[in-house]
């Protein structure tokens, strides 16, 4: 792990989080920083846009990815949501199901209070 690269990635995330669209907090729980990290979730992808997996693994690749992503996020903030990593995992998990299953899950969750 290279702390310098990790630090640079976090600096880019913190800078982008200040864009008006993101309110400098997780869309779901409103924390401004989480010990497990923060991420920009793609709401919509453009055709031909690269994903994290197109870059090398580890912080060096993540830094390259965020340097690639930074102007895209600045130009199209509505294509992204700022999330803490636990809530990003939740969203990613739910996206594995089709719309009907998601709806049944949401209905069940709302009834389970
Ligand atoms: Zn959160």
Note whether residue 21 is domain-resident. yes
Residue 23 DSSP SS3? coil
CA of 68 to the centre of ligand 1 (A): 24
**How high is the pLDDT of residue 113?**
81
- For the stretch 92-95, contacts whose Cβ atoms lie closer than 8 Å and that sit 24 or more positions apart, written own/partner, are 92/41
In a domain, 102, yes or no: no
- Asked if residue 96 is part of any domain, the answer here is no
User: How far, in Å, is the centroid of ligand 1 from the Cα of 88?
Assistant: 8
**Residue 19 domain flag:** yes
Query: What residues pack around ion ligand 1 (CB closer than 5 A)?
Result: 26, 28-29, 84, 87
90 lies in some domain: no
What is the per-residue pLDDT for 61? 96
Number of domains, the chain: 1
Q: Is the pLDDT of residue 2 over 90?
A: no
How many angstroms separate the Cα of 110 from the Cα of each of 28, 99, 105, 107, 113?
16, 16, 9, 5, 6
Alpha carbon dihedral 12, 85, 44, 110, in 10-degree steps, equals -150
* Any domain includes 109: no
Does 54 map to a domain? Answer: yes
Q: What is the domain range of residue 29?
A: 3-85
39: CA distance to ligand 1 center in Å? 10
93 within a domain of the structure (yes/no): no
Whole-model pTM: value is 0.89
Span 55-92, pLDDT tens digits: 999 999 999 999 999 999 999 999 999 999 999 999 99
């Amino acid at each position: 792990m290279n702390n310098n690269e990790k630090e640079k990635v976090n600096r880019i995330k913190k800078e982008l989080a200040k864009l008006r669209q993101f309110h400098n907090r997780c869309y779901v729980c409103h924390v401004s920083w989480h010990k497990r990290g923060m991420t920009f979730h793609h709401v919509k992808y453009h055709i031909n846009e690269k994903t994290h997996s197109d870059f090398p693994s580890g912080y060096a690749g993540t830094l390259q990815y965020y340097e690639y992503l930074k102007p895209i996020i600045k130009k199209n903030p509505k294509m992204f949501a700022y999330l803490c990593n636990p809530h990003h995992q939740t969203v990613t998990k739910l996206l594995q199901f089709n719309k009907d299953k998601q709806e049944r899950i949401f209905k069940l969750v709302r009834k389970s209070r």
